[in-house]
Amino acid sequence: MTPRPLTDAHGRVLRDLRVSVTDRCNFRCLYCLPETEEAANFYRALPTASASGPGPGGVPVPFQPPQPILREWKPRRELLTFEELERVVRLFVRLGIDKVRVTGGEPLLRTDIPKLVGRLAAIPGVADLAMTTNGFLFARHARALREAGLRRVSFSLDSLDPENFRRMTGRIGRDEVLAAIRLARDLGFSPIKVNAVVIRGLNDSELGALAEFGRREGVVQRFIEFMPLDSGRAWQRGLVVPGREILERLRARFDLVPVPSANPSETARRWRFADGPPGAEIGIIAPVTEPFCGHCNRIRLTADGQIRTCLFGRVEHDLKARLRGGMGDDDLEAWVREVVYGKEERHHIGEPEFEPPQRSMSCIGG
């Protein structure tokens, strides 16, 4: 008998599970782990740096740029094992999840990651298995991942300019990422998505160049609004380039044709190039200015075994304690249903009471 759908209190049916396998990352991206001196200098130089916004009683709060810190990563024993991850994914698939994305941190830092991919790909009911990576180590694992059953991969590429790439990511590595994207195409991964987080005054001048890159390479180039998920708590609304503005600027240069979607839970609005090759698309993801919470069908599992029902939420649910405490699958299923039923109706970015998550995107999982 088919189990009833995994549904929250607002009638949304969950189909998409994001599985983080590590909180570690080999990049220090300005919008996630802004722990380089250059990141601090960027925020410190902003015109709005004198006051980041109203505090209690409407008194301006002095801007505090992110400071370089020594990050303490979770020890290996606190991360879910491959056996635990496989068990959790099997459980969620029985509850109706059919789309699984492996994330981090940087997932390719997890030892023997192709073995985990193989275990997940073999689970009956996983119709779509994908990975998000910064691409720096992709060449080392690409063929093994493909052979293990990975079919889709998304890369992070925020700048085509080598110096700006270093400024945004905290390391030299643009050429490795470009090579990874092309290798994925050669190995038959499809579709290939390339994500750029757009920050005003930093890389928004490259919108056209990145779109042209997507057209030339035959990949899906996606632009993502800057979100308040950085460890330095330095996010400012003024740095967000709204999705509408991104589209207007791209349409001034390219002839774009809307791509209709049959999936209301899709996060990106999509366009194809009227004169572009098959596979070349533009996607715009605008969670800050055009929230899609009403159709959200995602749930997240952090590397240390916490369930998150909203990317921007402050509540986590401890699955690891139940796994390691001996809870059986039937009881786990009932608990998961209860957690999902309480999924947040929406995020509250831009509202006075909004507080960003306690953990950065690297720890939450993409």
Which superfamily is assigned to 16-364 in CATH? Aldolase class I (3.20.20.70)
In degrees to the nearest 10, what's the CA dihedral of 81, 86, 91, 94? 170
Residue ranges of domains in the chain: 16-364
Q: Which pLDDT band holds residue 261 (cuts at 50, 70, 90)?
A: confident
For residue 291, pLDDT beyond 60: yes
pLDDT tens across 178-221, in order?
Answer: 999 999 999 999 999 999 999 999 999 999 999 999 999 999 99
Label residues 179-194 b or e (16+ Cβ within 10 Å = b).
ebbeebbeeebebbbb
Looking at the DSSP bridge assignments, the partners of residue 271 are 258, 282
Cα distance between residue 104 and residue 178, in whole Å: 20
CA angle centred on 135, ends 110 and 71, rounded to 5°: 55
**Taking Cα atoms as reference points, which of 210, 124, 111 lies closest to residue 168?**
210
How large a percentage of the chain has pLDDT more than 90?
A: 72
Q: Which residues have C-beta within 8 Å of that of residue 74, sequence separation ≥ 6?
A: 23, 303, 304
Q: Which residues have C-beta within 8 Å of that of residue 352, sequence separation ≥ 6?
A: none
pLDDT, average across residues 233-256: 95
For residue 54, pLDDT beyond 50: no
Instruction: Quote the mean pLDDT of the chain.
Output: 90
For residue 299, pLDDT beyond 70: yes
For residue 59, pLDDT beyond 60: no
pLDDT tens across 69-100, in order?
Answer: 445 678 889 999 999 999 999 999 999 999 99
pLDDT tens across 13-52, in order?
Answer: 999 999 999 999 999 999 988 888 888 888 878 765 544 4
For residue 267, pLDDT beyond 50: yes
pTM: 0.91
**Taking Cα atoms as reference points, which of 321, 295, 294, 296 lies closest to residue 307?**
321
Cα distance between residue 290 and residue 308, in whole Å: 21
Q: Which residue has the tokens 């080598």?
A: 162
Q: Which pLDDT band holds residue 113 (cuts at 50, 70, 90)?
A: very high
The amino acid sitting at 76 is: R
pLDDT tens across 213-239, in order?
Answer: 999 999 999 999 999 888 878 888 999
